[in-house]
Structure 1
């Protein structure tokens, strides 16, 4: 695995831990945003492994969908989760009346963790095939 991808995976781990801490501090809106960023880092790491880099979130999400969900390299549910988490992050960041529940934030954190684990396992399996 490329060093940059390793760093992105590590950043995803730290971001999930941060999201959990924020949720424990009764900050579900911020925790939900951090859960999205953890998923975003995972998607970036996977794309970097196939020599793709993008400057916008929408580009990363679309490229992940094209290269991993559509091809079923990874379960398409992860793309669905990434898109949903992005929408929640936008709502929590820009809508002052947004009401992001602790339950939703916890669900996004769990999705981020599952996505990270699946991506790491995928990369490990890919590494052993070389």
Structure 2
């Protein structure tokens, strides 16, 4: 499905962007790019079940309901997505608060893991359809 491929490619680009901004110490932007990489992969995987939502919270909720709580993915992937969402809000809108280097580095590890696992799932799904 072309839309899934586009979302996946953009997520990979956002991971690379997160790596670049982390390397220059822009931890808030790193958190944002990590979250959006995860978010795009979440939107992609929801399409395999013909699901979509109009809000970020809705997308996250659908992932939990249809993928994390059903055992398709580990529950900690839902937790990681929620954490990334919260840190993205801090990074993008936090007044007097910002993402630390340690948080940004952890988010990048989590985002790479999340994107990789969802990509593997999507590749298997594509082979079956």
Same fold (TM over 0.5): yes
What's 1:32 paired with? Answer: 31
Please give the secondary structure, in 2, of the residue aligned with 1:52: coil
Matched residue, 1:103 = 102
Q: Give the TM-score taking structure 2 as reference length.
A: 0.94
Q: Which residue of 2 aligns with 1:118?
A: 117
Cα distance in 2 for residues equivalent to 1:61 and 1:47: 10
Q: Distance in 1 between matches of 2:79 and 2:16?
A: 22
Map residues 1-130 of structure 1 onto 2, 5 A cutoff: 2-130=1-129
The answer for unaligned runs of 5 or more in structure 1 is none
SS, match of residue 74 in structure 1 = coil
Runs of 4+, deviation exceeding 3 Å: 127-130
User: What is the total number of aligned residue pairs between the two structures?
Assistant: 129
Q: Following TM superposition, by how much is the alpha carbon of 1:124 offset from its aligned partner in structure 2, in angstroms?
A: 2.2
Cα displacement (A) at 1:24: 0.8
Q: RMSD of aligned C-alpha atoms? A: 1.2
SS in 1 for 2:72: coil
How far, CA to CA, are the matches of 2:24 and 2:124 in structure 1?
37
